[in-house]
Amino acid sequence: MDLKEAWKKLESDKLSKPVLGSVHIQKKSKHPVQKLILLFKATLGFAIAFELGFIYLFIVTPQPIVKVFMVIMIITYAFFFVLNYKVLRNIQHSFRLDLNLKSTLKQVYDNTMSTLAFQRKSSIIIYPLAATAGFLLGLSIEKDAALMMQKWQVQVALLISILILTPASYYLAKWMEKVSYGKYLTQLRDLIDQFDKEEEDSI
């Protein structure tokens, strides 16, 4: 019996055996890319919550210097919301399992990696601004923040806060990124590597 003959027999004997389960479309998926899509949606949700918080603080705070920093935070979060939304749309659009698998996975992987890398780099500028905004907000509860900032002791305290909070927030975000996205990105990378390896082996 040749391969094709054996295959035909195998198909009718064994491979056509039904799998238990009804043809009912569930709206949940365990696919790694689907999980990445969910994470991006969660990020957008958090961005909206923070944005609303900053808008609220902008409205309730009477001090102009605090308002300025709240505006900076509102603009920053709006920018990252748009960025993440675009990436989400892009992934949703490009992730199709009826197309070439390797290029689909590569597109999703590259897109996610470049966005996360950009966010990580940008955070080095954003964290000091966020720390300053928080510091000024704290000062404004009891005193005039602008007036307080003229004291050298307060300026040193702000500088120390920035020096501690910026790297701490950076590494915390990096760790959180690894915990949430890491597993799924590793799965995608492994698959892409396997395709590359198979291609190299055949040359």
Partner 1 sequence: MAHPHEQEFTELIDQHRGIIFKVIRLYVNHEEDERDLFQEILFQAWRSYPNFKGQSKFSTWLYRVGLNTVLTFRRRPKLVVPHEDLSVLKVSIDERVQPEETEALYIAIRDLNELDRMIVTLHLDGYENEEISEISGLTKNNVAVKLHRIKETLTKKMKAY
77, 51 in Cβ contact below 8 A?
yes
201, 132 in Cβ contact below 8 A?
no
- Nearest approach in angstroms of CB 197 to partner 1 is 9
Residue type, 194: Q
Residue type, 202: S
User: Quick one: which H or E segment has residue 67?
Assistant: helix 64-94
Q: Given candidates 58, 85, 170, 195, which one binds partner 1 under the rule CB under 8 A? A: 195
For the segment 96-115, give every residue that binds partner 1 (CB under 8 A).
Answer: 96-98, 100-105
Which tokens sit at 93? 């659009």
Q: Given candidates 15, 60, 141, 179, which one binds partner 1 under the rule CB under 8 A? A: 15
Which tokens sit at 14? 């064994």
25 binds partner 1 (CB under 8 A): yes
Whole-number Å distance between alpha carbons of 101 and 139: 54
11 binds partner 1 (CB under 8 A): yes
Nearer to partner 1, 153 or 202 (CB): 202
Size of interface with partner 1, in residues (CB under 8 A): 46
Q: For binding to partner 1 (CB under 8 A), which residues are involved?
A: 1, 3-4, 6-7, 9-11, 13-21, 23-33, 96-98, 100-105, 187, 190-191, 194-195, 198-199, 202-203
